[in-house]
């Protein structure tokens, strides 16, 4: 089914089609994202708006459409794929980073709001993933990368383990402890 994550009506129609074909969804994976790069002060307004619309508003739309039914049924899982950029600062990726910070904060807050409902929420925090998104981008030496299959596996595992945060690769979770020190 066709889906424009930036349009709530599109998300509603998409999930309606899924429900008609397979029944109510038990899992929603919000994984749309774009990553325009460049100095913050030079970024065009339209690029900023589109980045926020896809990376943040898309997640909000998905959660606002899927969560009411999940909460009503007393079960379900939402995995919001953000990025380790939610916890790092990389010059040239200010707006992208801001959207990933926002997805992490949104997920943490909504998790608290629906606690006890039977619905779990996970933020998936992959390092740079070897996909078209990074194609042609010169990456700083030593920056960890991962494969899309590893992100998919970690996201699928989050449905069963309900962890609040999932880092890919897993050792990136140590960043929190290092940053706190």
List 11, 96, 155, 166, catalytic entry: 96
List own/partner pairs for 172-180 with CB under 8 A and 24 or more apart: 172/84, 172/125, 172/127, 172/144, 175/84, 175/87, 175/88, 176/87, 179/87
State CA 127 to chain mean position distance. Answer: 12
- Residue 59, both tokens: 């997640």
**How far is residue 115's CA from residue 94's CA, in Å, rounded to a whole number?**
32
The verdict on whether 96 is a catalytic residue reads yes
Residue 70: Cβ within 10 Å count: 24
Query: Active-site residues: which are they?
Result: 96
């Amino acid at each position: 089914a066709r889906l424009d994550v930036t349009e709530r009506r599109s998300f509603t129609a998409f999930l309606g089609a899924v429900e008609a074909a397979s029944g109510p969804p038990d899992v929603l994976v919000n994984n749309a994202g774009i990553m325009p790069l460049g100095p913050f002060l030079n970024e065009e307004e339209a690029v900023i708006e589109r980045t926020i619309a896809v990376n943040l508003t898309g997640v909000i739309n998905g959660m606002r459409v899927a969560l009411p039914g999940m909460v009503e049924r007393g079960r379900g899982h939402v995995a919001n794929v953000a990025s380790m950029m939610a916890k790092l600062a990389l010059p040239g990726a200010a707006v992208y980073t801001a959207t990933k910070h926002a997805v992490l904060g949104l997920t943490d807050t909504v998790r608290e709001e629906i606690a006890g409902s039977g619905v779990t929420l996970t933020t998936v925090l992959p390092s740079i993933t070897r996909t078209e998104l990074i194609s042609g981008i010169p990456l700083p030496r030593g920056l960890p990368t991962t494969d899309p299959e590893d992100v998919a596996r970690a996201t699928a595992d989050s449905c069963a383990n309900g962890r609040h945060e999932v880092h890919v690769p897993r050792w990136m979770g140590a960043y929190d402890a290092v940053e706190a020190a």
